[in-house]
Copies of this chain bind each other. A is one copy, B any other.
Amino acid sequence: MPGETGATTSGQLRVHNLLRVLRAVHDGGAMRTRAQLTHDLDLARGTATVLVADLIGSRLVREEPTVQRTRGRPTRVPGPHPDGPVALAVDFREDSWTVAMAELGGRLTTRETRPHRPGPPEAVLGELADALRAHVRALGQRVAGVGIAMPGPVRGDRLLDVPHLGWRDVEVTALLAASRIAAAPLPVLLDNDATLAGLAEARRGALRGVAVGLHLHVDFDVGGTLILDGRPLRGAHGTGGEFGHMPLTGASGVCACGATGCWSLGVGANALVRLTGGEVTPGQGREEAQRIIAEAMAGDDRAAAALTSTARALGQGVSALVNAHDPQVVTLSGVGADLRTHAEEAVREAYLHGLMMFRRDRPPELVSSALGSEGILVGASEMVFDAFLTPRGLHAWQQAVSPLAGSVAEHRRPTG
């Protein structure tokens, strides 16, 4: 599913095949036996032997025995090496952040959540940097990178806008680098939380194996991402997937983003609060939105009307996106999943009504996220592994493990 490699020389061929094995181990959650991997990757047994031995030698993988009860010589399960690479994943929200650790195979291990007060980026990110530094100290060279999910559009190393915090154009990576979270330079990768929720869904959730999928993450407003062969479509500068800022439902009013009539104005936690007459407190609407949904289910008329209205807006917007992109499945996370669950009829009716005729006989299914609130952290760690499971990442790792044996040559120019 992740990035292609495309070997040209026999040296690159080896790297490509090492990565194929490594990615297969990772994507399979470190559950597949070596025999299965050999078969799935269409390798000769001898080749698999050599490749796995190489990965074990590089401290990337370790083989564990199986608990199988099959005939024949028992095979083993290549999984994460105890000294192997780990990703640090951060889910940064308006009111708190969570740091987790993921090893090869994707399992999230430690987790640490801390609230933060609204404040200038330097202060808030300084606390995060302290926590990251502690993790990096404990893990040593094992940290392959830090992946950070942000609640706003991200362009390269910059967080462009978090209305609820009043943050504009924050150079997150530079601030963290200034806090020296690691002795050696460490890859710090940033992306939008909705994009990463979609990435997680693509790799370990309901969009697994789906060629074209659409993920929508509804939180305070609507974000999302189109998934292509397991890769999110990030756009030319990384700020793609802002579906919430298209005028899909004929809403009126100016959005916080600066555009007019955005879809987000009618869906999401803020819309629920506004529709029930509440005051939108920046970054504080999640619990209130849950409360409104609960009230609606309990029979409160005003809450029910708000729920139905947002559900309709959700369905209508989804239909427009399905018309445009022809996805195979649409997944919903955050409040989107709640709307689908608790106001299914309203969502579905608006959805079908908005579809082009020829799409109505077999419309793409609307599915709730398989990962729930975990998704963002999973996506952040997958982003780190995406960068790591490349010729470049592998080369860097092997250099660190054994600087002399250069199995993966960085680059080279022909004679000319």
User: Which chain A residues have a beta carbon within 8 Å of chain B's beta carbons?
Assistant: 4-10, 13, 16-17, 20, 38-39, 41-45, 153, 155, 160-161, 169, 210-212, 226, 228, 233-243, 245-250, 257-261, 316, 319-321, 323-328, 353-360, 364, 413-416
Contacts and interface: CB of A to CB of B under 8 A. Distances in A.
A149 to B, nearest CB: 18
A413 B414 CA distance: 34
Contacts of A237: 326, 328
A235 B414 contact: no
Given A6-B6, A6-B16, A356 B259 contact: yes
Contacts of A257: 323, 356-358
A44 B358 CA distance: 52
Contacts of A326: 234-240, 242
28 contacts: A6-B7, A7-B16, A8-B13, A8-B17, A45-B415, A155-B358, A210-B236, A211-B236, A212-B233, A212-B236, A212-B240, A228-B228, A235-B325, A237-B328, A241-B324, A241-B325, A242-B324, A245-B356, A247-B249, A247-B250, A247-B354, A257-B356, A257-B357, A257-B358, A258-B355, A258-B357, A258-B360, A259-B357
A38 B241 CA distance: 39
A7 to B, nearest CB: 5
Given A8-B20, A236-B364, A161 B246 contact: no
Identical subunits present: 2
A389 B336 CA distance: 43
Given A248-B246, A324-B242, A354 B16 contact: no
A228 B227 CA distance: 12
Given A260-B354, A356-B245, A357-B161, A240 B42 contact: no
A212 B228 contact: no
Contacts of A324: 240-243, 245-246
A7 B15 CA distance: 11
B414 A45 contact: yes
A267 B212 CA distance: 28
**Nearest 4 A/B pairs, CB to CB:** A235-B326, A258-B357, A236-B328, A246-B320
Given A7-B16, A236-B326, A358-B160, A319 B212 contact: no
Given A325-B233, A326-B236, A247 B320 contact: yes
B242 A42 contact: no
Contacts of A212: 233, 235-236, 240
A6 B354 CA distance: 40
A44 B414 contact: yes
A43, A240, A358 pick with most chain B CB within 10 angstroms: A358
Contacts of A258: 355-358, 360
A9, A234, A356 pick with most chain B CB within 10 angstroms: A356
A236 to B, nearest CB: 4
A351 to B, nearest CB: 11
Contacts of A236: 210-212, 326-328, 364
A366 to B, nearest CB: 14
A355 B254 CA distance: 12
Contacts of A16: 6-8
Nearest to A231: B228
Given A8-B42, A248-B248, A320-B246, A235 B353 contact: no
A155 B356 CA distance: 14
A64 B88 CA distance: 56
